[in-house]
Chain A
Amino acid sequence: MSTTGTRANARTSEQADAATAKKRRGHPGRKGRIARWIVLAIGALVFLFPFYYMVIGSLQTKPDPTPAGAFPNPANITLQNYVQINERISLLSGLVNSGIFTGGVLLFTVVFGVLAGYALSVLHWRGRGVTFSIALLVQIVPFQLLMIPLYVLIARDYGLADTHMGMILPFAINSAAVLIFRQYFLSVPRALFDAARIDGANELRVLWSVALPLVRPALLTVVLLTFIGPWNEFLWPFLITKDPALQPLAVSLANYITTVAASASNPFGAILAGAVVLAIPAVVLFVIFQRHFQSSDIGSGVKG
């Protein structure tokens, strides 16, 4: 930042001033740049290495824990572990269940988010302020406090244990999504809505044909941010599904880690293979759409 600062400075003040400022700081440009790259490279290595190690480990029949194991002979690479984990937990049905769980949550999130977000930003109605406060409050109370009563209600009273609906319900309300949509609708110029109303469009039509097309980028952000919630969620589906045929992949893999792995002679290869399968959809999605995963969106989702 001081580089840009100096540059702007040189433009506005006299040349001599800028020269002395530069001299006083020595040559931070070059040294600073090297230090910066070292920091960033170490960071990237620390973040990415475990993922590399996960893939490499999953491709060796008996993962080698020594440093040499991180660079195995390509001749020893095999898909045996994927076959093995697939025999213990069905990867396909796990992926399908994760998909249904995530899809259901996304549907609720987007529908509720768009409707409530629009109402909170564009329309004036009694209770708007209270609703906004509730949306903020919901984010503060941790889900875990509700875990026991939700389990009693959903699994016992509503009889939704071992169903996809039971998995989806507690995640149907997503205040972050409501707040993100609200933020986007607020940024749309009011004149656009007013023009549509003058043309005789009713409020629902304004929402459907004016507001929605304008917030399409927000839609993608919300889908991305919401996706990782249910896809990676472990605790709730773990509580609510005991039937292996209905468990999302995160749950069946965790159950493999805690129970089967203890008795297997070489569990890590299979665990890592399962981990790769669980990780790939989320990682691929975020690499493809990384442009839509911006820091400012997260901010408005958390702060409102």
Chain B
Amino acid sequence: MTSVVSKPKTESAGAGAQHARSARRRRRILGENPLGILLSAPYLIFIGVVFAFPLIFAVWMSFHDYFFAAPGADVQREFVGFDNFITVATDPAVWRSFLNVGIFLIINVPLTVVLSLLLATALNRVVRGRLFLRVSFYVPYVTASVAVVGVWLFMFSGNGLVNQVLGPLAPDPSWLINPFLAMPTIAFFVTWKQLGFFILLYLAALQAVPQELYESAATDGAGAVRTFFSVTVPGVRSATLLVLLLATITGANLFTEPYLLTNGGGPNGASTSPVLLMYQKGLEQGNPDVAAAIGVILVVMVLILALVERKLVGDEES
């Protein structure tokens, strides 16, 4: 192989030098291995088609009077400034849906952090049965929402198992049709479903906490509780930040649960989510421009929340 490559080089030294010079220039412009551009191209092109362009389109749509027209029809889409945003901001249903995301986060985040850290700490010290426990913790995470929603509907229905067990303590109206309990029930459902993922995250974080810290805590006579709060909790801070960020994104993305569990965000909008509203307004009622405006507001809020959370938890690690 080497001989084949070197043969033409010796034949035409002048052309070879020129070739080398142009190769050097190409290298300066494209980098040492231009092949990298070629290998990344499919991924980047698809990002353009199904991410970048739709992203710009979404923002464009939110500032225009956009409506569904017959295919091929040439229609004028007027620039309307902030009209769509005003429509959104004056709609109490939208406010309610954002409030619901707030309720979701208030319940989901602390519960997820406490329970997953507790279970991960316990699991981290278990040797026998570890495999079984790990799998049983993440089974809800890998199962389709639609499938587990079926069981929850059954368990939390008016005369379902949960109310039967609670007996006289059962709420009236029942969980999913109670305006005060519908959203919390959804938050509990999502916490239960996602917990396994966060347990795995915390397990990894726990293994990265330096063993010497525990040893010196033990030498200083710190008890289990004290050690937990002054060694474990700070040690897994970057995982906690991830829980916060991912919970915020999950909350902002809620759709399947309110659509199926509470029959489309009921009762009376008490469990609507912004995405459910986007679906209802954009596709069911044919106002994609308003839906796009909700989407833009939602993403801006998520980004602001994410920045605040980063500041709160401290970001030196992740």
Contacts and interface: CB of A to CB of B under 8 A. Distances in A.
Interface of A: 1-6, 8-9, 13, 21, 24-25, 28, 32, 36-37, 39-40, 43-44, 46-48, 50-51, 53-54, 57, 63, 65-67, 69-70, 108, 111-113, 115-116, 118-120, 123-128, 131, 134, 138, 140-153, 156, 159, 169-170, 172-173, 178, 200, 203-204, 207, 228, 231-232, 234-235, 239, 250, 253-254, 257-258, 268, 271-272, 274-276, 278-279, 282-283, 285-287, 290, 293-296, 298-299, 302-303
B131 interface: yes
Contact of A43 (B137, B259, B303): B137
B263 A258 contact: yes
B123 interface: yes
B98 interface: no
B211 A4 contact: yes
B115 to A, nearest CB: 8
8 contacts: A43-B119, A43-B137, A66-B164, A118-B39, A145-B296, A152-B68, A173-B50, A235-B255
B35 interface: yes
Interface string B112-123: 000000110011
Interface in B129-168: 129, 131-155, 157, 159-161, 164-165
Interface stretch (B13-21, B102-110, B178-186, B212-220): B212-220
A47 B227 contact: no
Contacts of B50: 146, 150, 169-170, 172-173
A115 B148 CA distance: 36
A235 B148 contact: no
Contact of B153 (A3, A69, A271): A271
Contact of B150 (A116, A142, A274): A274
A1 B124 contact: yes
Contacts of B51: 138, 141, 146, 173
A125 B35 contact: yes
Q: Chain B interface: which size bin?
A: 35 or more
B105 to A, nearest CB: 15
Contact of A250 (B146, B219, B252): B146
A147 B295 contact: yes
A200 B306 contact: no
B227 A2 contact: yes
B309 to A, nearest CB: 13
A169 B263 CA distance: 29
B217 A5 contact: yes
Given A40-B126, A231-B144, A278-B144, A48 B217 contact: no
A274 B138 CA distance: 21
Contact of B148 (A65, A127, A144, A275): A275
A112 B43 contact: yes
Contacts of B136: 43-44, 47-48
Contacts of A113: 43
A144 B137 CA distance: 28
B215 A115 contact: no
Contact of B55 (A39, A128, A146): A146
B270 interface: no
Interface of B: 1-2, 5, 29-37, 39-40, 42-44, 46-47, 49-51, 53-55, 57-58, 61, 68, 71, 118-119, 122-126, 129, 131-155, 157, 159-161, 164-165, 192, 195-197, 200-201, 203-204, 211, 214-215, 217-219, 221, 223-224, 227, 232, 242, 246, 249, 252-253, 255-256, 259-260, 263-264, 274-275, 278-279, 282-283, 288, 291-292, 295-296, 298-299, 302-303, 306, 318
Given A145-B299, A203-B35, A112 B42 contact: yes
B306 A140 contact: yes
Contact of B143 (A13, A24, A67, A282): A282
Contact of A40 (B43, B123, B217, B256): B123
Contacts of A151: 282-283, 288
A120 B295 contact: no
Nearest to B289: A148
Given A141-B299, A200-B1, A203-B33, A47 B137 contact: yes
Contacts of A257: 146, 149-150, 153, 260
Contacts of B137: 43-44, 47
Given A144-B252, A149-B61, A254-B260, A232 B145 contact: yes
Contacts of A2: 214, 217-218, 224, 227
Given A65-B157, A125-B30, A145-B296, A39 B282 contact: no
Nearest to A152: B288
Nearest to B300: A145
Given A50-B151, A257-B260, 17 more contacts: A1-B227, A43-B136, A47-B137, A120-B40, A125-B32, A125-B36, A134-B44, A151-B283, A172-B46, A232-B145, A250-B145, A268-B153, A293-B200, A294-B204, A295-B203, A302-B246, A303-B242
Contacts of B61: 148-149, 152
Nearest to A270: B150
Given A115-B40, A131-B40, A141 B140 contact: no
A282 B140 CA distance: 10
B161 A70 contact: yes
